[in-house]
Structure formats: C-alpha cells, structure tokens
Chain A
Amino acid sequence: MRKNRCFRKPVLLAKIHGFLCLLFLTMCPATSVAEEVRVAVAANFLATLNEIVTTFEQDTGHVVTVSSGSSGRLYAQIKNGAPFDVFFSADVMRPRLMEEEGLAVQGSRFTYAVGRLTLWSPGPTMIEGNGKAMLLSDEVEHVAIANPKTAPYGAAAKEVLQALGLWEPIQDRLVRGENIGQTFHFVFSKNAQLGFVALSQVLGHKVNGAGRRWDVPAHLHAPLRQQAVLLHNGQDNEVAYAFLDYVKGATSLNVIERFGYGLE
C-alpha cells in the first residue's frame, strides 16, 4: 500500500502538470497565429467600425482588435508607445500631427467620414423646441457634452453653444464625458436630459433613432472631418493595408453613410 502510494504520486503530479500545460496553451491568445491588425478608434465611430470589422473578418479571415476612447487619449497613448497599427481619429489635427511627428506613415492620411452632431433627448420627458429652446428648457437639469479639450465632438459642441450665445449662461448645466461614448451613456442612462452626441450613436442599433433630436446645422461648427492614418507600427503589416483599403471600399462606405455620416 505504501509502495503503491509512492509510485502513484509522481503519476498524479505528471497529470496535474499535463493539465496545467494544456490550460496554459488554451489560454494563449490565438492571435500569434492568425494575421492581426490593431485599431484605435475615436468613440463616435466605434459602433460603425465594429460593423465594418465583422464583414472584414468574415471576408478575409483576418483578426481586427479594436480599442476605443477619446481621440485625445488615444493620441497620447500612441505617442507614448501604444501598439496600434491604425488610428481612426475624430479630427484632422491629430492624424496630421502624427504624420509630422513621424508616428504615422507619410501620405497614408485620408478622410473616412464627416461627422454629424446632434442634440439628443431620449425621453420620457421630451424636450420641446429646437436648439436654443431645448437647451434652455426648465425640464433640463444637465446637458452632456464630450470634453472639448480631448474630444473633437466636444469641441464642436462648444462651438455650437458659443454660436448660440449659450456657452457662458449654460455652464452650470454642463457635464463632460471623457469621450463621446461616455457622453452618450450619460444621456442614454437619463442622468442628463440632453446631450450633444454623434448622430451615428442615435442611429445605431441601441437607439434606432428613438427620442427627440435636433440635428445641429453644419454651419454652426467647423466640419467634423474624421481622418484615419496608418501608424508607424503598422507599416509592415499587410493586414493593416488590407483593412484600410476595405474601409475605403463600397461595402464600408454604405455602412458609414447608414450611420449618418457624410462622405468626402
């Protein structure tokens, strides 16, 4: 009996060892085998990009990993070595800066969409009127905007408020989302009654255009030209090129337009 035990112990250990090895192997990401492209995307374009990514992955078998945030945060992260191949910004300024600073491949920059800003109220209390009247309504306690310093949609919202002469008077109603995604969430969760969000978010499948909205006339803010750029990291990555081509293709352009964006 005793002998037996001594004999069995190593077998048990070997079994455990084998199991752990297997466990470890299954936990290793498969991406080291599959061709992969790592994409950083401004929050307003996330839902749209996800749809494009789905068809791209089905068509090509490649893998796209997507990270989203405010353009400002992503820019700062890439500048400090974040391992992304492609950057979809919500503005022109940051991709241009990246080209100048050698973080991006010269000449790879292109406008993939022109954003539309909308002032949205999900209900149940519908804010009546348009623009100014909505913003000044007694029903409104908080108006959500994206942080103008880090998010281009926030900067556009600030320009609109300034054009309406409301930037100062409405200060104590403003809450700032870290990016347009959080801004949308503030309104969606009804913590804010109104918010300047991307039209693409309201038209996305979570909301399907429900609620009341005032699409901000384009002349009230500088156009939200959104540019993408191939980053230094991705210049030897074939999949990055393939993905950028795919985004410029007809299938993707249809998706982009369906989400309410303009094209150039």
Chain B
Amino acid sequence: MNVPEMDWGPLWLTLQLAGVTVVVLLVVGTPLAWWLAFTRSRLRTLVEAIVALPIVLPPTVLGFYLLIALGPHGLIGGPWKDLTGSALSFTFTGLVIASAFYSLPFVVQPLHGAFEAVGKKPLEAAWSLGASKLDAFFTVASPMAVRGYLSAVVLGFAHTLGEFGVVLMVGGNIPGVTKVLSIAIYDHVEVLEYTQAHFLSAVLLIFSFLILTIVYTVNRRLPVHVS
C-alpha cells in the first residue's frame, strides 16, 4: 500500500490529548474512586451516578454544556479568562477538560472496582504497623490495585482517542491545537479524500486493537496479590 501524502499533526495531537487527559484523570480519579470504594456517605450513590453520566449522555449534550461552560462568559471559562486573559473554548486546555469529563467513568470505575477488591484489611494491617495513611496507600493499596490502574489507564486513553462529538462541538478544528484524528478523518471524508481517510482510520483501528489486546494479555498474566 502506498503511503499517501499525510499530515501526521492530528495523530500526535490526539496522542498528546489522550496522554494528558489520562494523567489528569488518574490524579483526580484516584481519590474519587477511593472515596467511592470506602465511604459510607449517603452521597455515594449520587456521586456514582454523576460519574457514570458520560457513558449514557450523547456527546452533543456534553459538548453543548461544555461549550457554554468553557466560553468567555461560562462557569469555568469566565473565571479562567479573568485569571489568564483568554477563555477555554477552542484551546488545548479546554479539550483536556472536555475529555476529562468525557472519559471520567472509564478511569474511575476500574479504580473503584480495584480498591473495593483490595479492601481495607491490608491497609489496616499497614497502619497498625505504623505506616501513615498516604504511605500505606502508595506502598500497599496501589500495587495491589495494579490491574485496576492498568484498565483505567488503557480505557481512559483509548476512549479519549475515540472522542469525536465533544471535540467537534468545542474544538473549532484548529490544526495543531484542536484538530484531533477523528476530526481529521471527518474532514477527509467530507471532501472525498478517501485515501487519507482510509489510512488514518486504519491507523486508529490497528492502534486501538493492539492496546486492547495487550491489556487483556497482561491482565491475564498479572499476579493478583490480594490474599
């Protein structure tokens, strides 16, 4: 197959977006999943429902709300503009925020499951041996929840790669800033550049298939430490 004249910008941008989004989601998602796994608060079901919303909502709903919220007069965009001088719509940072909402359940849910599986007992043992709470989390709970982390990272990453509707609505199709792979493919299809569309689609298809295969393989072989 001849490699057509390709613009690889959208691919790198997409990988960057997915990478940054996953890091953000791990930082935000870990305490959230932890809280969900062990809280006895009545708010738990509410928070669980909110976390799961992006799974069922059409991306257009998310995209619409986000465009309003990220804009110069929006709930997030307004204060951001006062701080930095520019709003968040049509920016890479804006896309990261949008993607974080969009992929939130795909990171939080595996972590939540993993923390629940680990349970509190190993931690209590660590505490009784004098470890601080944070110390116990990093040296005992996290390594035991490694499968959960693997799923979270991969699903969050892959789901962000596949993002389309939200980006279409808040991105503004700016090359190098918000023109991600799925948008580039859409553009190619619209102007009947099927060769390029085929090529980029195949890249995305193979890439997604590969990472999922790797995850399932690794997941099977990983020892589970839970006693």
Bound together, the chains give a CA A176 to CA B184 distance in angstroms of 12
A58 at the interface (CB under 8 A from B): no
* B192 with A175: CB separation less than 8 A: no
Q: List 23 A-B contacts (CB under 8 A).
A: A70-B190, A72-B190, A72-B191, A73-B190, A76-B189, A76-B191, A142-B90, A144-B172, A147-B190, A150-B190, A150-B191, A175-B173, A175-B174, A176-B172, A177-B173, A178-B173, A178-B186, A189-B67, A189-B71, A190-B72, A191-B70, A191-B89, A191-B90
Q: Chain B residues near A76 (CB, 8 Å)?
A: 189-192
Q: A141 an interface residue at 8 Å Cβ cutoff?
A: yes
A261 within 8 A of B: no
Minimum C-beta distance from B165 to chain A (A): 11
Kindly state whether residue B86 has any CB partner on chain A within 8 Å.
yes
Given A191-B67, A191-B90, A186:B172 Cβ within 8 A: yes
A17 within 8 Å of B (CB atoms):
no
Nearest A residue to B178, CB-CB? A175
Interface size classification for chain B: 20 to 34
Q: Does A79 sit within 8 A of B, measured CB to CB?
A: yes
Which residue of chain B is the closest to A74 with respect to CB atoms? B190
CA distance A79 to B190 in the complex (A): 11
Q: How far is the CA of A198 from the CA of B218 in the complex (A)?
A: 55
A residues engaging B (CB < 8 A)? 70, 72-73, 76, 79, 141-142, 144, 147, 149-150, 174-178, 186, 189-192
Measured CA separation A72–B191 after assembly (Å): 6
Report the minimum CB–CB distance from B93 to chain A (whole Å). 14
The B interface, classified by DSSP as helix, strand, loop or mixed, is loop
Task: Please measure, in the bound complex, the distance between the C-alpha atom of A175 and the C-alpha atom of B191, giving whole angstroms.
Answer: 19
CA distance A79 to B192 in the complex (A): 10
Sorted nearest first, the 3 A-B pairs with minimum C-beta distance are A175-B172, A176-B173, A191-B89
Return the CB mask of B186-209 against A: 1 if under 8 Å, else 0. Answer: 110111100000000000000000
A176 to B187, CA, bound (A): 11
Given A76-B189, A189-B67, A191-B72, 5 additional A-B pairs, CB 8 A: A73-B190, A175-B90, A175-B173, A191-B89, A192-B172
A174-B174, A176-B173, A189-B68 are contacts. A147–B90 as well, Cβ < 8 Å? no
Is there a chain A Cβ closer than 8 Å to B168's Cβ? yes
B172 closest partner in A (C-beta): A175
Separation of A142 and B174 alpha carbons in the complex (Å): 11
* Min C-beta distance of A156 to chain B, whole Å: 16
B191 CB contacts on chain A under 8 angstroms? 72, 76, 149-150
